[in-house]
């Protein structure tokens, strides 16, 4: 009996502890994002990473249910999650260090806030155990990262950030649709449950394409990659270091977590996806060679790697068995991608600092965007045309019509005249009207009785 | 009069009486006026709290006063009205605090706060109305009480805006009146009943019922600013910020939307309305409104105008949620009634702060304003992301249920409307944020007022922060008991129960 | 007693002009009390009939009080009290000496009219009423007022003349002037047709139904404010009351075409009056034209011809009486304060008279027919009657009329909120005048909140009983 009480007591303590710990992993960075709360702290960014570090030391998998949060949420960590978390902690630590050394001791306060927000989103995504939580944290991460790019960057990075933002919004829309489809299929939005439900669902192809499109835009997979080279071209090493780990790796993680891989077989779609992956790799190689700029190398490497990933994905969709056997490798791939990009960036940065490569004159194609990059602005232009051009014209037509109606006043003036003349010859008119009405009445009464 | 019968009346009186007293207060008695206002608002909140508790436990609150021989003035608290009353009471408190700060030192404050209280009284009356004639009564009262608020500034522009407002709303009210009387001659009753009271009417009268439906929707539709009846709303922007906030979040626009909810659910009954074939056209009107409002918002440089067009678009979500027949979409629509209110009031508070503190009225003047007024802009940012529907904020919850409901009801096209609207929302809101946080600042602000170390007066800062927090909480804690979402679930089970 | 008291008051005021104000107020209170007693009696015992001097019909003078006349008496009492209070502040000593006797005289005539049970009596009271009213209009002095008064006198005499002619014809044919007896005996014959035609035309002229309304705006606009209020609220209603009485009791043989004609004229009046009101640049002219429009509403009840319709029209009459009184009083205040009533220059005036503007606004609410007000209830009833009888077009007229009046009311109210330029010199307005206006406006509003009581009152003695059968 005593043992039982002891046991349950331990369990209660354990539960409280893990709840606290798991919540604080994204929660502490969020709190510290308020300038007022961190103003007295040294190294707030490192402190924000502490809970995650502690969580890494907990040897077992923990998870909690948070039914009151959002539409019923949860946080947890398992083996692969741990791996990713470790990578994130490492890279973020590196980035923080770079951030601090880059600007000396005085780091821009606002930048720190965005930094912490992005961090919270990133850690939260890794811990999320269901779709909505994942979606929410990845939104936080995405917008935070956008702010990070804009706030810390030069004009070039800002352009990258703007393109990134457009993709981010489109991606979120696609993912939202996918989420709705999933929610319409199953009550439980845990990853495992969704995977199983979607495998049998008739709308799985739609779901699959939405998820793929969404995350592809987030990860910068070819052909939705425009912002990646731009972003890598930016001068802030702390940001470029994170590019691989934050948007790209997490998006790939999303693909693995959301899709019913290894359960459904969609040969046709698989083939297309495979083909796209191969093209992406080819493109990366070609473009990388074409624009042989050392700084750009990580960008094309990333595009190549994601292309590779997509090819594998296509294979997995073609033949689910392959994925079920080797699927776990995907996580390792993601982790190594994150690291790889970081290492590349650091190496190149070091090389550049060391040898000071003469900057080649940039090719024109680099700055002027290709046609398919121009469509958002085209849409905006079209909408502007609608708003500024066509609507006013319609309104002008309407005004003209109203103007014609105004001429009604002409006959209103006639009415006024009537009223005035009524009042002028009072006596005559009175008599006349009276007689007229008498006659009418009499006629009416006669009409009744006849 | 027993407690249960008196409570709705008390809720009404808690803003009516302070309002009437305030009318007669001399201009200088600021302290008395302020404490009256706040006391009224707080009292209302307490009473509404009691009401929520009571309704949840199945109590029946109803005040019935004779109006015409066979028609009573009925004030009743059911689940739906409690939702709206709570929203009004909470946001009234916030807006009162804000208005006290906003109008400090300006003329005609007694008049302003008097009509302000009257406006809230009318809104609460609309919410509590237990039959259609009571609804009409308070609906028109609302029209009248709001007019002085819109023209409060007294400029020529304000007067013109007030005129436009009246032309629209009085005409709308007339349509509503015709519809109501017509309905009364057909049925002999106007009592709101769950699942409607018309389905028993003869088949031959269905054509007439469709016409009446159009009348009854067009009336409140004017206030809900459904396209093409929205023309007054952007013009009404000349009103002081607290008025715009109240107008867009609680009072006028919401009263219209709420009226549509009432007509569809408690007069016609959603199933009966669907069988008449009137819900699909309504949904299409709502969809057009959503897209059109967003398109127009894109090109407004005036911040408040942009927000106004955004309201046009957002309020139509509520109508859309209702017109997509189905329990889940209904939850989405009802919960958006609350969520949109909280988010939009935040945005208007912030816009007011900018105007009052720095003299900023245009989006193009907002460069780097986040540096000067960080808290205001944080609240604004939260509101904006909520509007776009970014999780985990309130707007996400509404969109989630709307989308899910559309799928559930087999109306997939709604999803595209939602997506398009989100996209447009992002397109007209995010540039504001970009400018506010990241663009290089202007040299001077148009008209800066100094508030010492703080960015602005506390009475101006606290309300938007509170409502921004609410926006966050409504999203994060959507599944907690007594959240609007759970309450909407509760209402929906009543409406759709077998 | 109801009649004699104001008469006595009139005499007293005439005899002791210095104390006119006090005497007038005392007798006003007395009349109100008497009406209240009478009302209690009627409510308790149903319709009352008195034979003055014990002669009784068909020879003597009969007085008859049912719900309809009681209601008219009451509205006269309430409005009369308000006007008395208002006038006590309005007139200076000179004018007051003339005003009070005339006004008491008029009140007596009104009360007598509402209680009369035979048409000759009706004629006499109508004539008295007209003369008193003309004298009151002329009270303002000045060329405008005199022209207006002359024109009014002419119209009034013409109308009475026609009425007298028809009374003579009827008496000749049936040997009685008592309404009840006439109702029994009357049968179609050319003489009756002529009589009824003459009578209706005369009364329409006096009620100022479109297009016989032309005399009304100048007369009402040029009179002093309390007199305008009186004319608009009560005097024109008196002739409508007669028309209604006769229509209900003697004219059941009238046919639908005639009713439609009256309705049509009413509709035209609503629209014409509304449009003309919008075109006016002077506040009092505007209000006067609105009276024309509002009178049109009353005639809409004729084609509807159902109990709900009649009730609606009567309710319209009640609320219009209260609201229009308030409006004219407010206009009087504004005129007194600023020295002019040009609408375009109102902003400087109205902002400094908040109570007056409130009164104007509240009265406007009733005139527009927006809730909560007596006007709304009336409109509701009329609309219901229109739709029930399948004649929805009258409903549309109602709504259009409401929109028109909303437009002009807000045209005026809008100035209350504009920022004024330099205020110009002004004369103080007595408190009693402001509060009287506000009180009358409140009456109009309260009529909308407590509608069931007057409605029950109307049913006493079944004035519309004949309609149930028909």
Query: Using CB atoms, which residue from B408, B415, B427 is nearest to A177?
Result: B415
| Cα–Cα distance for residue pair C40/C49, rounded to 1 Å | 15
Q: How many CB atoms lie within 10 A of CB C244?
A: 23
- The DSSP symbol for A248 reads I
Highest-confidence segment of A106-110, A318-322, B240-244, C111-115: B240-244
Compute the average pLDDT of residues C314-329. 90
Does C404 score more than 80 pLDDT?
Answer: yes
| Cα–Cα distance, A56 to A77 (Å, whole number) | 9
Q: What is the pLDDT of residue A221?
A: 77
H/E stretch holding C74 reads helix C67-90
Best probe of the B interface among C406, C409, C446, by most B CBs < 10 A, is C406
**Structural contact between residues B331 and B347, judged by C-beta atoms closer than 8 angstroms:** no
**CB-based contact C202 A434, cutoff 8 Å:** yes
C-beta of residue C346 within 8 angstroms of C-beta of residue C390 = no
Whether B385 and A387 lie within 8 Å, measured CB to CB: no
What is the residue extent of each domain of chain A? 2-363, 394-449
- Residue ranges per structural domain of chain C: 1-254, 256-470
Residue C213's contacts (CB-CB under 8 Å, 6 or more residues apart) are C269, C272, C273, C292, C295
Q: Kindly report the CA angle at C464 between C461 and C468, in degrees rounded to 5?
A: 115
Burial C104-139 (b: 16+ CB within 10 A, else e): bbbbbbbbbbbbbbbbbbbbbbbbbbbbbbbbbbbb
DSSP A358: P
Q: Count of residues for chain B?
A: 498
How would DSSP label each residue in C47-67?
SEEEEETT--TTTSEEEEE-H
pLDDT value at residue C309 = 83
C154 touching A (Cβ < 8 Å): yes
C252, C187 in Cβ contact below 8 A?
no
| Digit-coded pLDDT (tens) for B89-121 | 999 999 999 998 888 878 788 888 989 999 999
Distances (CA, A) of B399 to B152, B408, B429, C173: 36, 14, 17, 81
Shortest CA gap B404–chain A (Å): 6
Distance CA C68, CA C42 (A): 11
Average pLDDT, chain A: 74
Which alpha helices (H) appear in B409-483, and where do they start and end? 413-438, 458-476
Mutate to test the interface with A, among C151, C170, C214, C285 (most CBs of A within 10 A): C214
Q: Does B324 touch chain C (CB under 8 A)?
A: no
In the predicted structure, residue B379 carries a pLDDT above the cut 90: yes
In this predicted structure, what is the pLDDT of residue B364? 83
The CA–CA distances, whole Å, from C386 to A83, C317, C399 equal 79, 18, 12
With cut-offs at 50, 70 and 90, classify the pLDDT of residue A426: low
CB contact under 8 A, A437 and C215: no
User: What pLDDT does residue A387 have?
Assistant: 58
Contacts with B136 from chain C: Cβ below 8 Å: 371
Chain B positions touching A173 (Cβ under 8 A) are 419, 422-423
What angle do helix axes A109-127 and A44-57 make, rounded to 10 degrees? Answer: 10
Give residue B347's pLDDT band: very low, low, confident or very high (50, 70, 90).
Answer: very high
Residues C450-468 as b/e (b if ≥16 CB within 10 A, e otherwise) read: ebbebbebbbbbbbbeeee
Distance from C-alpha of C16 to C-alpha of C8, rounded to nearest angstrom: 12
Among the partner-chain residues B392, B399, B477, the one whose CB lies closest to the CB of A136 is B392
C-alpha to C-alpha distance for C117 and C120, rounded to whole angstroms: 9
- CB distance A138 to A253 below 8 Å: no
Strand locations in C280-415 (E): none
**Closest residue, chain B, to A35 (C-alpha):** B374
Tell me if C257 and A426 make a contact (CB, 8 A cut-off).
Answer: no
Nearest CB to B404; choose among A139, A170, A184: A184
Lookup: tokens for B53: 């508790």
Q: Which two tokens stand for residue C423?
A: 């205020």
Interface test with B, best of A30, A180, A182, A187 (most B CBs within 10 A): A180
Question: Pick from A419, A423, A442: which is nearest to C193 by CB?
Answer: A442
Residue C172: phi, psi to the nearest 5? -60, -40
Residue C381 to residue B68, Cβ atoms within 8 A: yes
Residues 6 or more apart from A15 whose CB is under 8 A from it? Answer: A64
User: What is the CB neighbour count within 10 angstroms for residue A402?
Assistant: 9
At residue B344, the pLDDT reads: 92
The shortest C-alpha distance from A142 to chain B (Å) reads 11
Chain C positions touching B150 (Cβ under 8 A) are none
Say if residues C284 and C228 touch (Cβ distance below 8 Å). yes
Is B66 an 8 Å CB contact of chain C?
yes
Q: Which of C154, C254, C272 lies closest to A427 in CB terms?
A: C154
How far apart CA A46 and CA A40 sit, in angstroms, is 14
Instruction: Answer whether C268 touches B (CB < 8 Å).
Output: no
Q: How far is A414 from chain C (nearest CA, A)?
A: 12
Span C250-265, average pLDDT: 73
Predicted confidence band at A360 (pLDDT cuts at 50, 70, 90)?
Answer: very low
Query: How are beta strands B61-68 and A73-77 bridged, if at all?
Result: unpaired
Contact B427 A67 (CB under 8 A): no
Question: CA-to-CA distance for A292 and A362, rounded, in angstroms?
Answer: 10
Nearest residue to B158 via CA among C412, C418, C351 = C418
Read off the pLDDT of residues A122-155 as tens digits, 9 standing for 90 and up: 888 888 888 888 888 888 888 888 888 887 667 7
Residues of A within 8 A of B434 (CB-CB) are 150
How do the domains of chain B map onto residue ranges? Answer: 1-265, 278-498
Residues B21-39: what's their mean pLDDT? 86
Q: Which of B16, B69, B149 is most worth mutating to test chain C (most C CB atoms within 10 A of its CB)?
A: B69
pLDDT for A445 equals 62
- Which of A438, A447, A450 to mutate: most C Cβ within 10 Å? A438
The one-character DSSP state at A261 is T
Please indicate whether, in this complex, the C-beta atoms of C188 and A449 are within 8 angstroms of each other.
yes
- Most distant CA pair in chain C, distance: 69
Q: Are A445 and C218 a contacting pair at CB < 8 A?
A: no
Q: Which residue of C has its CA nearest to B108?
A: C417
Residues B477, A150: C-beta atoms closer than 8 Å: no
For A325, A345, B20, B281, the CA distances from B37, given in Å and listed in that order, are 69, 61, 11, 43
Select from B246, B326, B239 the least CA-distant residue to B280.
B326
Measured between CB atoms, which of A429, A431, A448 is closest to C188?
A448
Q: With beta carbons under 8 A apart, name residues in chain A contacting C204.
A: 437
Q: Which chains touch C (3 or more CB pairs under 8 A)?
A: A, B
Q: How far apart are CA C182 and CA C174, in angstroms?
A: 7
Closest chain C CA to residue A409? C279
pLDDT level of residue A370 (50, 70, 90 thresholds): very low
> Measured between CB atoms, which of B396, B423, B478 is closest to A169?
B423
pLDDT band at A359 (very low <50, low <70, confident <90, very high): very low
- The pLDDT tens digits for A163-174 are 888 888 888 888
- Say yes or no to pLDDT of A356 above 60: no
Structure tokens at C63: 């007085």
Is the separation of the CB atoms in B219 and B282 below 8 Å? no
**Helices (H), ranges, A33-108:** 35-38, 44-57, 79-103
What pLDDT digit, counting tens, does each position of C5-21 carry? Answer: 666 666 666 666 666 67
Q: Do A70 and B476 touch (CB under 8 A)?
A: yes
Match 């005026």 to its residue by tokens.
Answer: C412
| Helix, coil or strand: residue A64 | strand
Alpha carbons B353 and B454: distance in angstroms, whole number: 13
Mapped onto helix, strand or coil, the DSSP state of residue B415 is helix
3-state secondary structure of B446: coil
**pLDDT band per the 50, 70, 90 thresholds, residue A389:** low
- Identify which of A191, A192, A211 has the alpha carbon closest to the alpha carbon of residue A317: A211
Burial of C30 (C-beta count, 10 Å sphere; 0-12/13-18/19+):
middle
DSSP string, B19-74: HHHHHTS-TT-HHHHHHHHHHHHHHHHHHHHHHHHHHHTT--EEEEEEEETTEEEE
Q: What is the pLDDT of residues B147-203, one digit of tens each?
A: 888 888 878 888 888 888 888 898 899 999 999 988 988 888 888 888 888 877 778
Cβ distance C449 to B155 less than 8 Å, yes or no, reads no
**Distance between CA C247 and CA C470 in Å, rounded?**
13
Taking an 8 Å cut-off on Cβ atoms, the answer to whether A184 and B408 are in contact is yes
Minimum mean pLDDT range among A31-40, B298-307, B483-492: A31-40
C contacts of B219 (beta carbons < 8 Å): none
Q: Which range, of B160-174, B251-265, C300-314, averages the lowest pLDDT?
A: C300-314
C:348-407 residues touching chain B, CB 8 A cutoff? 354, 365, 368, 370-372, 376-377, 379-381, 383-384, 387-388, 395, 399, 402-403, 406-407
Q: Cα B12 from chain centroid?
A: 18
Count of A-B CB contacts under 8 Å: 82
Phi, psi of C54 (to 5 degrees): 75, 10
Residues in chain A: 450
């Amino acid at each position: 009996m005593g043992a039982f009480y002891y046991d349950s007591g331990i369990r209660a303590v354990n539960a409280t502890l893990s709840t606290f710990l798991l919540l604080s992993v994204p929660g502490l960075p969020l709190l510290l994002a308020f300038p007022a709360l961190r103003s007295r702290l040294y190294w707030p960014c490192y402190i924000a990473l502490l809970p995650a570090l502690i969580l890494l030391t907990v040897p077992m998998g923990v998870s909690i249910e948070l039914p009151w949060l959002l539409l019923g949420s949860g946080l947890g960590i398992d083996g692969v999650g741990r791996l990713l978390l470790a990578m994130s902690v490492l890279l973020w630590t590196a980035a923080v260090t770079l951030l601090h050394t880059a600007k000396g001791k005085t780091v821009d306060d606002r930048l720190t806030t965005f930094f912490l927000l992005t961090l919270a989103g990133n850690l939260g995504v890794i811990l999320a155990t269901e779709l909505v939580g994942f979606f929410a944290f990845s939104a936080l991460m995405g917008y935070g990262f956008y702010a990070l790019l804009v706030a810390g960057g030069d004009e070039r990075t800002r352009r990258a950030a703007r393109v990134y933002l457009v993709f981010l919004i489109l991606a979120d829309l696609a993912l939202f649709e996918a989420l709705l489809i999933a929610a319409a299929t199953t009550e439980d939005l845990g990853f495992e449950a969704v995977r199983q439900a979607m495998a049998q669902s008739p709308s799985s192809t739609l779901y699959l394409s939405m998820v793929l499109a969404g995350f592809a835009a987030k990860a910068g997979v070819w052909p939705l990659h425009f912002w990646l080279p731009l972003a890598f071209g930016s001068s802030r090493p702390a940001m470029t270091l994170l590019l691989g780990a934050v948007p790209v790796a997490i998006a790939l993680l999303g693909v693995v977590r959301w899709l019913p891989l290894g359960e459904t077989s969609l040969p046709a779609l698989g083939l297309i996806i495979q083909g796209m992956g191969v093209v992406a790799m080819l493109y990366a190689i070609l473009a990388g060679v074409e624009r042989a700029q050392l700084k750009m190398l990580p960008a094309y490497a990333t595009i190549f790697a994601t292309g590779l990933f997509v090819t594998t994905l296509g294979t997995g969709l073609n033949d689910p068995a392959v994925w079920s056997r080797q699927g776990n490798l995907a996580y390792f791939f993601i982790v190594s991608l994150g690291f790889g990009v970081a290492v590349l960036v650091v190496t190149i940065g070091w090389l550049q600092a060391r040898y000071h490569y003469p900057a080649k004159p940039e090719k024109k194609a680099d700055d002027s965007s290709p046609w398919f990059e121009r469509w958002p602005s085209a849409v905006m232009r079209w909408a502007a045309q609608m708003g500024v051009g066509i609507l006013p014209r319609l309104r002008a037509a309407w005004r003209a019509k109203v103007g014609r109606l105004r001429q009604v006043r002409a006959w209103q003036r006639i009415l006024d005249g009537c009223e005035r003349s009524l009042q002028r010859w009072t006596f005559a008119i009175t008599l006349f009207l009276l007689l007229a009405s008498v006659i009418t009445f009499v006629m009416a009464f006669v009409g009744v009785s006849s | 009069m027993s407690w249960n019968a008196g409570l709705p009346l008390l809720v009404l009186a808690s803003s009516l009486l302070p309002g009437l007293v305030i009318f007669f207060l001399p201009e200088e008695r600021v302290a008395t006026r302020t404490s009256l206002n706040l006391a009224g608002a707080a009292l209302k909140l307490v009473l509404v709290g009691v009401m929520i508790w009571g309704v949840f436990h199945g109590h029946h609150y109803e005040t019935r006063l004779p109006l015409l021989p066979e028609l009573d003035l009925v004030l009743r608290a059911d689940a739906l009205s409690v939702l709206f009353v709570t929203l009004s009471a909470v946001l009234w408190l916030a807006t009162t605090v804000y208005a006290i700060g906003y109008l400090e030192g300006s003329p005609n404050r007694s008049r302003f706060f008097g009509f302000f209280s009257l406006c809230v009284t009318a809104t609460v009356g609309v919410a509590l109305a237990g039959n259609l004639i009571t609804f009409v009564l308070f609906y028109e009262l609302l029209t009248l009480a709001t007019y002085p608020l819109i023209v409060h500034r007294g400029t020529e522009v304000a007067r013109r805006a007030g005129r436009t407002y009246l032309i629209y709303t009085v005409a709308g009210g007339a349509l509503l009146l015709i519809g109501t009387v017509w309905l009364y001659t057909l049925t002999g009753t106007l009592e709101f009943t769950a699942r409607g009271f018309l389905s028993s009417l003869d088949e031959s009268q269905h054509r007439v019922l469709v016409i009446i439906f159009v009348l009854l929707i067009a009336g409140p539709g004017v206030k809900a600013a459904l396209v093409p009846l929205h023309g007054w709303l952007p013009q009404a922007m000349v009103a002081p910020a607290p008025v715009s906030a109240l107008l867009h979040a609680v009072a006028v626009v919401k009263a219209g939307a709420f009226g549509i909810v009432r007509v569809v659910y408690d007069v016609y009954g959603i199933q009966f309305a669907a069988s008449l074939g009137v819900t699909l056209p309504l949904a299409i009107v709502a969809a057009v409104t959503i897209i059109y409002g967003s398109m127009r918002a894109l090109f407004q440089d005036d911040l408040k105008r942009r927000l106004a067009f955004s309201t046009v678009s957002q309020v139509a979500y509520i109508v859309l949620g209702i017109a997509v027949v189905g329990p889940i979409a209904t939850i989405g629509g009802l919960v958006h009634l609350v969520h949109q209110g909280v988010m939009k009031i935040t945005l208007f508070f912030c816009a007011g702060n900018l105007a009052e503190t720095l003299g900023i009225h245009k989006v193009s003047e907002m460069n780097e304003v986040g540096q000067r007024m960080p808290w205001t802009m944080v609240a604004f940012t939260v509101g904006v992301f909520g509007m776009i529907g970014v999780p985990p904020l309130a707007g996400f919850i509404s969109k989630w249920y709307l989308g899910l409901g559309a799928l559930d009801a087999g109306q997939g096209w709604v999803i595209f409307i939602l997506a398009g609207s989100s996209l447009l929302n992002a397109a007209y809101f995010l540039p504001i944020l970009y400018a506010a946080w990241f663009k290089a600042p202007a040299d001077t602000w148009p008209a800066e007022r100094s508030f010492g170390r703080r960015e602005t007066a506390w009475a101006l800062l606290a309300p938007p922060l509170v409502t921004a927090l609410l926006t966050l909480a409504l999203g994060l804690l959507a599944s907690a008991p007594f959240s609007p979402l759970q309450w909407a679930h509760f209402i929906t089970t009543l409406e759709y129960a077998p | 007693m109801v009649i004699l008291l104001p008469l006595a008051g009139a005499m007293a005021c005439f005899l002791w002009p210095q104390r006119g104000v006090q005497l007038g107020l005392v007798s006003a209170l007395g009349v109100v009390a008497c009406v209240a007693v009478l009302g209690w009696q009627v409510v308790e015992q149903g319709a009352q009939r008195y034979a003055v001097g014990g002669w009784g019909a068909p020879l003597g003078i009969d007085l008859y009080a049912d719900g309809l006349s009681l209601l008219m008496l009451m509205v006269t009492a309430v409005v009369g009290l308000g006007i008395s209070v208002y006038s006590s502040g309005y007139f200076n000593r000179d004018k007051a000496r003339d005003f009070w006797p005339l006004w008491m005289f008029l009140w007596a005539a009104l009360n007598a009219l509402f209680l009369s049970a035979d048409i000759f009596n009706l004629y006499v009271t109508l004539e008295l009423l007209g003369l008193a009213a003309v004298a009151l209009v002329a009270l303002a002095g000045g060329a405008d007022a005199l022209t207006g008064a002359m024109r009014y006198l002419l119209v009034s005499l013409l109308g009475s003349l026609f009425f007298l002619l028809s009374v003579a014809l009827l008496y000749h044919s049936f040997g009685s002037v008592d309404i009840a007896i006439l109702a029994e005996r009357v049968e179609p014959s050319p003489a009756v047709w002529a009589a009824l035609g003459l009578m209706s035309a005369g009364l329409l002229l006096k009620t100022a139904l479109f297009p016989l309304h032309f005399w009304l705006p100048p007369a009402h606009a040029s009179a002093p404010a309390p007199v305008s209020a009186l004319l608009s609220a009560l005097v024109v209603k008196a002739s409508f009351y007669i028309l209604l009485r006769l229509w209900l009791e003697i004219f059941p043989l009238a046919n639908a075409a005639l009713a439609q004609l009256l309705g049509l004229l009413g509709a035209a009046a609503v629209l014409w009056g509304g449009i003309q009101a919008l075109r006016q640049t002077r506040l009092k002219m505007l209000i006067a034209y609105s009276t024309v429009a509002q009178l049109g509403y009353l005639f809409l009840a004729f084609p509807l011809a159902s109990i709900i319709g009649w009730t609606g029209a009567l309710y319209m009459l009640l609320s219009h009486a209260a609201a229009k009184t308030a409006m004219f009083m407010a206009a009087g205040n504004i005129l007194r304060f600023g020295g002019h009533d040009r609408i375009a220059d109102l902003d400087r005036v109205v902002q400094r008279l908040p109570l007056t503007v409130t009164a104007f606004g509240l009265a406007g609410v009733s005139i527009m027919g927006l809730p909560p007000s007596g006007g709304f209830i009336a409109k509701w009833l009329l609309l219901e009657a229109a739709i029930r009888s399948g004649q929805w077009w009258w409903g549309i007229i109602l709504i259009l009329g409401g929109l028109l009046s909303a437009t002009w009311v807000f045209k005026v109210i809008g100035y209350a909120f504009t920022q004024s330029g330099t205020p110009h010199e002004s004369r103080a307005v007595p408190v009693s005048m402001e509060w009287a206006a506000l009180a009358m406006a409140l009456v109009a509003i309260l009529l909308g909140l407590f509608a069931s009581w007057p409605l029950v009152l109307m049913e006493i003695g079944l004035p519309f009983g004949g309609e149930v059968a028909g």
